[in-house]
Structure 1
Amino acid sequence: MAIRLSNLFINALSTLAPQLMARVVFDKFCHPKRFARTKAETACALRGIKFIFKSGRVANIWGDDGSENQDLVLLCHGWESRGTTFYVLIDTLVAKGFKVLAWNAPAHGSSPGTKTQIFDMTSALIEDLKQQNLQPVAFVGHSMGGAMLGIVSKYISLPKPIIMISSPSQILPMFQKFFAARHLSKKVQALVFKKINQLGDYTLDEISLINCQLQHEQTALIIHDKTDKQVPFAEFEKLQTVWKKAQFHPTENLGHNRILRDENIATLITQHIIKHK
């Protein structure tokens, strides 16, 4: 009954005050939920070193041997996630001699803030990398963390091997899914999209992986599970039609997040980095 009344209220406000509703929805979308680390993640964090950027944002570093020429791998988490979710991959990479940095976006993990969105996350990542003069030999992104590559590539050079796990081919459908679950009118949706597209130098379509120049340049490994309920496997299939130089690896029964805890996937990623760095 409560859900029905809530939907009726949303429908009414969407019709009577679409501008107000668009502001409410946009503000809500820009406030990600923050979840606590699991025991395995906490143990992983304790094995590493906490690093605070000049911006105040937080990363964790593992495997630093103190040498200036040690290869660095950058890990970028997804929406409402955190860097330590890569704990299986982190251990695998460190075992092969890599220095690993798991970055926490604004309003995510241990980083400060309560409000962010994909353009803000991307500019924050670029700022932190530039300020510390970090030049990773590989970039690994999960979900939204992989989708961010479409924007990052427009501002800085990326390493040759990039790995995207469970990432959407286009950003727009992810927003549409969010809107559909909240029964928003088409007018409100259009207003929110307008707000989002005004946030950066590029539109959502222009930054999507399916359209970006990276597909012609990078040695990419793209991984996706057939049972992923958050980012459908169809997104992986769309990328297959345009990323002709990429290596595609479908999985079964690992879902959207459990895929990060699979040792075989961690080994596959590590081998790809070693081969192409």
Structure 2
Amino acid sequence: MFFSVIYPLLLIVSLVHQNYLRILVVMHRRPTLLMKAKVRPTTHYVRVCRSIRLFDLYSLDMMSSYLSALYAMYLFEKTRPLPYKPAEMMLLKQCRQENFTWRHALVNMFIYPQSDQQAEKVLLLHGWDGRSIMLRHLAQRLQATGYSVHAPDLPAHGASPGRGVSFYDLSSAVIDIERQYGPFSVVIGHSSGGLVGCMAAMQGLHFKRMILISSPCCFGEVVDNYVLSHKLPRHIASAMKKLYQLRYGVHPDKIGPEWIAQIKQPVLIVHDKGDISIDLEDAMVLTHVLEKSKLIVTAGQGHNGALRDASVFKRISAFLEPTAQEDATRMANPVLRLRPTIDVRFKR
């Protein structure tokens, strides 16, 4: 709607801005390095773009709550795939990079291998709008202790192509990753990657132990928080949930503590008390409902700090020590059964 009309104008403004910077560089009034900064509407005029989209959504809501919920779902599932720069690839030089096909799209997999083919395998799941490179410190430490680590760029994230994806589809992708590269002894999820790992476990993912770092405890609350933080009409959250139930056969509020409690394998929960992205209360809920759980509360690490902290890794390593003597299991009766019967999506 309005965004489609105004975006071309913003693009023209961006081109004018880019050429203005080019002129300043030619006149030696700005450093040459400035030319590496690409001026794009979605990066340099973020507030304007968000305001237009919000105006779009409220306008749709006046006409149809169904259309506004569809548009809100489209924005909620929209991701920012980021290809790797040469400098970033240098940081990942010890990895083996592979691609595999998932639903007619390629998914990038970074493997930190071991010479021993019988080495225990670990699956690392990054968070929303994240990339596997964010987990490289943890992956390198796990590799150094003898684990073969698999860190994918999940569909529509990082170098894996795509413009958007749902949490449901990400959990299905994890199941397919297990078929391709598993079985995995340990599943480690950061932020929403932890919830996606739990959703995969509810579908029958095999593993021995799980680690949840700064993870939410309920998908329904993730939807509620998105609507609240983006100042959308409150009733859109319930409409979005109904559309998810229509699309996948499972209501988002069902994907929460009651179902997560069915995970019987040992689970380590790591959360920072100052995390402003995911509240510590989510970790407390997970600790309460999971039968074999242990909670580590950090301070001053924020949402991502635990991924790089050596002291946290020592405790993770201690938690994983008994893994070699355990057997991989799965949920006896998977509670999450996705039945995509109707594809309800917003088309642009």
Please give the TM-score of this superposition, normalised by the length of structure 1.
Answer: 0.89
Aligned residue number for residue 123 of structure 1: 172
Q: Report the residue type matching 1:154 in the other structure.
A: M
Distance 1:6 1:156, change over 3 A: closer
The 3 A distance-change label for structure 1 pair 52 and 202 is same
Shift of 1:134: 1.1
Contact 1:150 1:212 (8 Å CA) reproduced: no
Q: Secondary structure at the match of 1:223?
A: strand
Q: Secondary structure at the match of 1:159?
A: coil
**1:74 aligned to 2:123?**
yes
- The answer on whether the counterparts of 1:142 and 1:165 sit within 8 Å (CA) in structure 2 is yes
Q: Which amino acid aligns with 1:160?
A: K
Tell me, yes or no, if structure 1 residue 113 matches structure 2 residue 159.
Answer: no
What's 2:191 paired with? 143
Using the alignment, how far apart are the partners of 1:155 and 1:9 within structure 2?
A: 37
1:223-262 aligned at under 5 Å gives the runs 223-262=270-309
- Larger RCO, structures 1/2 (Cα 8 Å, 6+ apart): 1
% identical equivalent positions = 24
1:216 Cα deviation from its structure 2 partner? 5.4
Structure 2: which amino acid aligns with 1:63? Answer: P
Relative to structure 1, the CA distance from residue 228 to residue 38 in structure 2 (aligned partners, 3 Å threshold; closer, same or farther) is farther
Label 1:39 to 1:91 Cα distance change in 2 as closer, same or farther (>3 A): farther
Q: Deviations over 1:147-190 (max 9, x none)?
A: 11332123224312100000001111221111113332233222
1:1-41 per-residue CA deviation (whole Å, 9 max, x = no partner) reads 96878756644542333222112111111111234668985
Q: Note closer, same or farther for the CA distance 1:6–1:148 as it changes in structure 2 (3 Å cut).
A: closer
Q: Contact between 1:150 and 1:207, CA under 8 Å: does it hold in 2?
A: no
**Contact kept? 1:259, 1:265, Cα under 8 Å:** yes
CA distance in 2, matches of 1:137, 1:102: 14
The alpha carbon displacement at 1:212 in A equals 2.1
Secondary structure at 1:68 match in 2? coil
What corresponds to 2:69 in structure 1?
A: 22
SS at match of 2:140: helix
2:314 to 263, 267, 273: 267
- Give the AA of the match of 1:212: W
The Cα offsets for residues 229-263 of structure 1, whole Å up to 9 and x where unpaired, read as: 11111111222322242011000011111221212
Q: What residue identity is the alignment partner of 1:113?
A: G
Q: Distance in 2 between matches of 1:4 and 1:105?
A: 29
Q: CA deviation at 1:221?
A: 0.3
Larger radius of gyration between Structure 1 and Structure 2: 2
**Pairs within 5 Å for 1:52-201:** 52-55=99-102, 56-65=106-115, 67-130=116-179, 132=180, 134-201=182-249
Query: Which structure 1 segments of 5+ residues have no match?
Result: none
225-234 or 263-272, which moves further after superposition?
263-272
Q: Provide the rounded CA distance (Å) in 2 between the counterparts of 1:4 and 1:128.
A: 38
Q: How many residues align?
A: 274
Distance 2:51 2:129 in 1: 27
TM-score normalised by L of structure 2:
0.72
CA distance in 2, matches of 1:207, 1:4: 31
In 1, the alpha carbon distance for the partners of 2:70 and 2:258 equals 28
What SS does the aligned partner of 2:194 have?
helix
The alpha carbon displacement at 1:201 in A equals 4.2
Which amino acid is the alignment partner of residue 159 of structure 1? Answer: F
What is the distance in 2 between the residues matched to 1:4 and 1:203?
A: 30
Q: Which moved more, 1:165-174 or 1:11-20?
A: 11-20
* Structure 1 residues 10 and 31: alpha-carbon distance in aligned structure 2, compared to 1, 3 A threshold: closer
Provide the rounded CA distance (Å) in 2 between the counterparts of 1:194 and 1:142: 27
C-alpha change, 1:246 and 1:173, in structure 2 (3 Å) is same
What pairs with 1:198-209 in structure 2 (closer than 5 Å)? 198-208=246-256
